[in-house]
Amino acid sequence: MRVVIYLDEAATTPVRRDVLEAMWPYLTGTFGNPSSHHEVGELARRGLEEARRAVADFLGARPGEVAFTSGGTESDNAAVKGIALASTRGRHVVVSAIEHPAVLESARWLATQGFEVTELGVDELGHVTPDALAAALRDDTALVSVQHANNEVGTVQDIPALAAVAAERGVPFHTDAVQSAGWLDLDVTALGVQALSLSGHKLGAPKGVGALFLARRTPAEPLLHGGGQESERRSGTENVAAAVGLAAAVRAERPDAAGVAALRDAFIERILAEVAGARLTGDPVHRLPGNASFVFPGRSGESILLDLERRGVVCSSGSACHAGSDEPSHVLTAMGVEREVAQTAVRFTFGAAITADMLDTAADALVEVVG
């Protein structure tokens, strides 16, 4: 495969070598079923529980509050549907209008089951305000779910402030932290949340593994029934090797967020200066370090992507989960971007391996393509 500059880490990251090395023994010699009551199964069980402790430490949680899942989508579904269905408060759910589809579609499914769903609007930078959330809460609100950092525009929400509003009314709060993991502090006590979703493949672990933090005494109806694994929160034989890989990823040294953000800001500054009409989307300050997202009115976002790829620069138009859709981004339209302009979106996302030279090359290509 030819060498490319990969600027789509919000979609997925490469698996880290130390993650692969940690997983290998559990794919070969230590292959037992962790529910088996013999030595081979016990060895697998020990690896699984050590992985659980590592993820719990990463979140400032108790090991018993962490359940392994197949990824962010399952974790989001388990939190939104599970908490709502188990609630004795009522049948009303609040989510933001710019959530990942895993949250939005879960809430919309609840609407088919008799729940009322409020989709909170956001400002032009993508923020949910505490006042708006307070106005949306009701005595029968069963759950609030607001994303920690947006996967398309990178805007970071003030989760502690929002969670405090919900706590005042006794409403459980869930946050999708899939994009912010590894970049932002995810101490669940500091955030004030009762549920939080993680996905391994955004952190250098393989696809197909994630985790759900669910605080003690927060009831949640399980989506999967069967053998009662994961303390009866997620039945199914655990993927021990993947859980160990996720643990290795969260134990890894955190990237230099300030350094990556400085490179991001220089890249943004150049694009806005050299590409006529380019507009940054999302909050220019309170955004993920490795996210630079733009719209280019009057251009075709899809054509820009194709032309950049021909020049060896790989990026995206937004969420990989909506790739190929003709519909404009629901995130951008919720932020007030015109539908036709939203269809010109291009997102560049990168991690600790990025260099100034790589971003200069990408900027050269973008200036050439759009100009």
List the catalytic residues. 321
Per this entry, what is the length of the chain?
371
If we measure between CA atoms, which residue out of 306, 348, 300, 347 comes closest to residue 326? 300
8 Å CB contact between 156 and 283: yes
Q: How far apart are CA 257 and CA 289, in angstroms?
A: 6
Contacts of 313 (CB under 8 A, 6+ apart): 4, 5, 7, 361, 362, 365, 366
Q: Which two tokens stand for residue 270?
A: 């150049």
Q: How far apart are CA 148 and CA 24, in angstroms?
A: 32
Whole-number Cα distances in Å, 256 to 229, 290, 351: 37, 11, 9
